[in-house]
Amino acid sequence: MPSILATALLAAAVTAAPALAPTAAAPDTVAQYRMVDLGTLGGESSYANAMNDRGDVVGRAQGTDGIYRGFLWRHGRMIDLGDFSPVDINDRGQIVGSHDDGSGAYIWDRGLLRPLGDSFVRPVAINNRGQVVGHTDAGPALWTNGRSRLLPLADVSDVNDHGQVSGGVSLPSTASHRTLSSTASTPRRTRTSTWPPPTCQPSSTAYSRP
């Protein structure tokens, strides 16, 4: 079987090279980058899922047995996380992900796995305070210090260090939209939102039809 190490399936990190002089760059100047090969766990391919501000990278890599396992790449070394699927890492090095045995979501912290709870089925992101957002059986939730709180959102995508969560909600169309076609299915609109909602600042809205 031909090796695919040279393809895009190989996890890699791209970093900006330092500027040689403090002079302003021309408008058409292309930034210079250096690509770093993260390697594998002995197999032929790997892929990265997230990176923090310290340059730590998490993802999945193939072992010599052909099975993919989670990894943490730090200081030029790939650390095997075993049967763990990491999805995000914060600047403290805490990693959120799911266990491959289906037992739920966990936070990996200095070699120890801490469960988020049975209902937390799919984590999405973790902030530097250790808060996690994701999807539970009951809907999107924010997990803080061992407790999960359901969110008034249909989907979640990220959480910042203030505990604000980005995501979306699905709203029924207005009567004017429903009258566009009497035979077509009722269109819906999707609005991108944040939680808690920002004050004195309207959220952007995107419309879509199912």
Q: What are the DSSP E strand ranges found in the chain?
A: 12-16, 33-37, 42-51, 57-63, 68-74, 77-82, 84-89, 95-99, 105-109, 112-117, 120-126, 132-136, 139-144, 147-150, 155-159, 165-172, 188-195, 205-208
Q: Taking the complete model, does pTM exceed 0.85, yes or no? A: no
pLDDT at 192 over 90: no
Q: Which residue has the higher pLDDT, 193 or 2?
A: 193
Q: How confident is the model at residue 15 (pLDDT cuts 50, 70, 90)?
A: low
Q: CB-hemisphere CA count at 13 Å for 182?
A: 0
Q: What is the C-alpha separation between 11 and 2, in angstroms, rounded?
A: 18
Number of CB atoms found within 10 A of residue 134's CB = 24
Q: Which residue has the tokens 């799911």?
A: 98
Residue 114 confidence (pLDDT) above 80? yes
CA dist 163 and 73 (Å) reads 27
Write the pLDDT tens digit of every residue in 71-106.
999 999 999 999 999 999 999 999 999 999 988 899
